[in-house]
């Protein structure tokens, strides 16, 4: 069939890279992403009428990207719509659509639903194919680490007249390696050879990664040598895994060796590889060396990515070579605007940390001149600079004019600065504006700043109320927030408030763990050490916290009623 089925087939067995946590990172996924070529298998089922086929194709085209974007509920919804149409035509949905749904559920870790979709598929008389089973293997090997169930699927394939393929085995090997079961992974390799299935690069690479993760870099290197001999040479992904591990250990001389080896073997070095290396050098404080690699990269005619730029700009800022950084920024307009914003933010944030707010302002002006639209992070850096420069009224005006999308971080910066300056009234106003006018929900940091500020003003009941509100609004019991409040209360001998706090924690169903009590007693004792008279409160408090009918749990039981 056309693009959709090919994409779904590839998608069905491929590891989808997880979104990176850093918005500046373009790191390649360290897992193998080689497409697995699968033979087209003629469907043993009757073909549905053309109109329905078209509907299915459309539905699958819509489900695939939704699943990839993690909008699983939508995928489920579309599928049930499709079910309605197909069942009125008297045929079940195709295996392709089932696989797409199955994969979306598996990627989201919704194991129970995935299983029931698979069972539903069997019940509807739709024959699963190897891709369906590969998805289940992925579920059990990657998501739930129920390896015996993964093996069960592979055995079940035979009962359905199917043979496990290299994708099946590689998926299992990857899962085992992630769980640190390298010996077992080798066993699977033997097994697949017995089955006449040749391992491929993406079967070996997870094992290389497994060794690296366990710090067995020598083993990893040996395996790479073995891959060459076995006629399955390592690819860029394999090398990047090794280079990343060497970088983490700061074994830079060996990195150089590997880079040379890659080139003598006739492989091309990529920007991704350089990024890994330069990032590590930068993080280890070797900015000069990183900059040298940047030159090497450019000499090779490779194009820097947004991530390269952010590494290099950081290195330049660290070595106080701001003018060079700014000159790179000037050239960065060749990149797309999105990359340019990140690059500007990198330099502005460093300048802000150094207290060089006029330079921050200049860069902001430069961005605007170049029609690069600042994002919220840019503006937060700018607001922070203004606060450092003691220009709070300007910062406040900017926020009140609502000229840009402020978020909780923006308000936190301002509220904190007002408190630092002793302008509690302004801070309280800012909080009111944030929650009532701008309609931005306070986060843990906001509550912590407020509670600390209120305690300093002696408004203990209000601070306690804020804490209660945070428990009602947020699912997590924040340790920072609790510590700020308890310190404030203990400092002024507000034992009744402390008891209220603990009652509330209990009332809201949070687990009362040791850690909390330890910290409280510590706060009180710190006060008591200086002022012996206050020690009398301790037994009273302990009675209230730990007395009859009170349960205390070890910390590891978790800290909230939800997640
Ligand atoms: C499973 O069936 C779908 C739909 O026909 C097809 O796209 C896919 O390639 C098949 N997978 C295998 C391994 O045959």
Residue 78 confidence (pLDDT): 95
Q: What is the mean pLDDT of residues 496-508?
A: 83
CA angle centred on 19, ends 205 and 370, rounded to 5°: 120
Examine the pLDDT at 185 and tell me if it is beyond 80: yes
Ligand 1 lined by 497 (C-beta under 6 Å): no
Is the CB of 37 within 6 Å of ligand 1?
no
Q: What is the pLDDT of residue 37?
A: 38
Write the pLDDT tens digit of every residue in 128-146.
999 999 999 999 999 999 9
CA 367 to chain centre: 29
Give nearest CA residue, ligand 1 atom 11: 131
- Cα of 56 from ligand 1 centre, angstroms: 14
Residue 33 neighbours by CB distance under 10 Å? 15
> Token pair 């060459």 is at which residue?
228
Report CA(12)–ligand 1 centroid distance (Å): 9
- Atom number, ligand 1, closest to the C-alpha of residue 96: 4
Of the pLDDT bands very low, low, confident and very high (cuts 50, 70, 90), residue 23 is very low
Q: Residue 486: pLDDT above 90?
A: no
Mean pLDDT of the region 446-474 = 91
Is 60 exceeded by the pLDDT of residue 86? yes
Of 104-118, 425-439, 476-490, least confident by mean pLDDT is: 476-490
Cβ of 129 closer than 6 Å to ligand 1, yes or no, is: yes
Ligand 1 pocket mutation pick from 6, 7, 95, 197 by most atoms within 8 angstroms of CB: 95
Residue 9 Cβ inside 6 Å of ligand 1? The answer reads yes
**What tokens appear for 286 in the block?**
């070797």
Residue (of 398, 463, 469, 462) closest to 430 by Cα position: 398
Ligand 1 close to Cβ of residue 486 (< 6 A): no
Question: Tens digits of per-residue pLDDT, 533-543?
Answer: 455 566 666 66
184 alpha carbon – ligand 1 mean position (Å): 29
Return the pLDDT at 327: 82
Residue 22 pLDDT exceeds 80: no
Atom of ligand 1 nearest to the CA of 134: 13
Say how far apart CA 480 and CA 526 lie, in whole Å: 17
CB-based contact 109:66 (threshold 8 Å): no
How much is the mean pLDDT over the chain? 83
Band of residue 373 on the pLDDT scale cut at 50, 70, 90: confident
pLDDT the model gives residue 44: 47
Rounded-to-integer distance, Cα 165 and Cα 187, Å: 16
| CA of residue 43 to ligand 1 center, whole Å | 9
Distance 94 CA to ligand 1 centre (A): 10
Higher-confidence residue of 181 and 11: namely: 181
Query: Which of 91, 90, 86 shows the shortest CA–CA distance to 126?
Result: 91
pLDDT at 552 over 90: no
Q: 5 in ligand 1 pocket by Cβ < 6 Å?
A: yes
Q: Higher model confidence: residue 475 or residue 345?
A: 345
3-state secondary structure of 553: strand
Q: Alpha carbon of 192 to those of 266, 339, 380, 448: distances in Å?
A: 30, 44, 54, 56
Predicted confidence at residue 535, as pLDDT, reads: 56
pLDDT at residue 555 in the model: 40
Helix (H) or strand (E) holding 368: helix 357-369
Mean pLDDT, residues 219-245 taken together = 94
Q: Does 64 have pLDDT greater than 70? A: yes
pLDDT at 262: 92
Structure tokens given for 453: 């500020």
> How do residues 453-462 score in pLDDT, each as one tens digit?
999 999 999 9
Distance 60 CA to ligand 1 centre (A): 13
CA of 179 to the centre of ligand 1 (A): 29
Dihedral (CA of 306, 307, 311, 314) sign: positive
In this prediction, residue 266 has a pLDDT band, given cuts at 50, 70 and 90, of confident
* Residue-wise pLDDT tens digits, 388-407: 999 999 999 988 887 678 89
d(CA 360, CA 377): 13
Average pLDDT of the residues in 462-490: 85
**Of the ranges 2-16, 98-112, 356-370, 429-443, which one carries the lowest mean pLDDT score?**
2-16
Give the integer Cα–Cα distance in Å for 63 and 65.
6
């Amino acid at each position: 069939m056309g693009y959709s089925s090919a994409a779904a087939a590839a998608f069905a067995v491929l590891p989808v890279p997880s979104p990176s946590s850093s918005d500046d990172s373009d790191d390649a996924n360290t897992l193998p992403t080689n497409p697995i070529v699968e033979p087209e298998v003629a469907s043993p089922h009757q073909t549905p009428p053309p109109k329905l086929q078209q509907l299915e194709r459309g539905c699958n085209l819509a489900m695939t990207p939704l699943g990839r974007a993690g909008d699983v509920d939508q995928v489920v919804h579309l599928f049930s719509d499709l079910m309605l149409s197909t069942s009125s035509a008297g045929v079940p949905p195709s295996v392709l659509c089932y696989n797409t749904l199955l994969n979306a559920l598996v990627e989201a870790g919704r194991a129970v639903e995935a299983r029931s979709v698979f069972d539903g598929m069997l019940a509807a008389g739709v024959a699963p194919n190897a891709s369906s089973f590969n998805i289940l293997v992925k579920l059990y090997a990657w998501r739930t680490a129920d390896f015996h169930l993964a093996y069960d699927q592979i055995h079940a394939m035979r009962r359905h007249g199917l043979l496990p393929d290299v994708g099946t085995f590689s998926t299992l090997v990857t899962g085992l390696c992630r769980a640190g079961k390298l010996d077992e992974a080798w066993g699977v390799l033997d097994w697949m050879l017995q089955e006449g299935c040749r391992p491929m690069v993406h079967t070996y690479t997870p094992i290389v990664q497994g060794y690296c993760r366990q710090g067995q870099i020598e083993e990893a290197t040996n395996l790479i040598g073995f891959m060459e001999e076995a006629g399955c040479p390592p690819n860029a992904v394999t090398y990047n895994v090794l280079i990343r591990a060497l970088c983490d250990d700061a074994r830079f001389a060996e990195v150089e060796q590997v880079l040379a080896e890659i080139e003598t073997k006739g492989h091309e070095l990529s920007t991704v590889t350089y990024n890994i290396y330069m990032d590590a050098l930068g993080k280890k404080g070797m900015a000069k060396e990183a900059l040298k690699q940047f030159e090497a990269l450019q000499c090779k005619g490779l194009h820097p990515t947004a991530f390269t730029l952010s590494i290099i700009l950081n290195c330049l800022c660290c070595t106080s070579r701001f003018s060079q950084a700014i000159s790179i920024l000037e050239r960065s307009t060749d990149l797309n605007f999105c990359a340019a914003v990140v690059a500007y933010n990198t330099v502005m944030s460093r300048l802000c940390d150094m207290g060089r707010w006029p330079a921050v302002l200049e860069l902001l002006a430069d961005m605007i001149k170049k029609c690069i639209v600042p994002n919220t992070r840019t503006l937060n850096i700018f607001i922070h600079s203004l606060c450092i420069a003691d220009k709070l009224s300007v910062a406040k005006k900017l926020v009140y004019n609502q000229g840009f999308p402020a978020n909780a971080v923006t308000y936190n910066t301002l509220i904190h600065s007002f408190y630092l300056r002793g302008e509690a009234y302004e801070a309280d106003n800012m909080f009111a504006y944030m929650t009532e006018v701008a309609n931005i929900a306070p986060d843990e940091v906001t509550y912590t700043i407020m509670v600390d500020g209120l305690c300093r003003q002696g408004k203990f009941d209000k601070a306690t109320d804020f804490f209660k509100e945070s428990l009602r609004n947020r699912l997590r019991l924040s340790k920072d927030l609790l510590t700020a409040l308890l310190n404030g209360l203990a400092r002024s001998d507000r034992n009744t408030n402390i008891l209220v706090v603990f009652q509330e924690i209990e009332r809201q169903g949070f687990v009362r763990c040791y850690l909390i009590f330890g910290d409280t007693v510590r706060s009180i004792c710190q006060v008591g050490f200086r002022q012996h008279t206050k020690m009398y409160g301790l037994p009273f408090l302990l009675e209230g916290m730990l007395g009859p009918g009170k349960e205390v749990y070890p910390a590891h039981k978790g800290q909230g009623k939800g997640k």
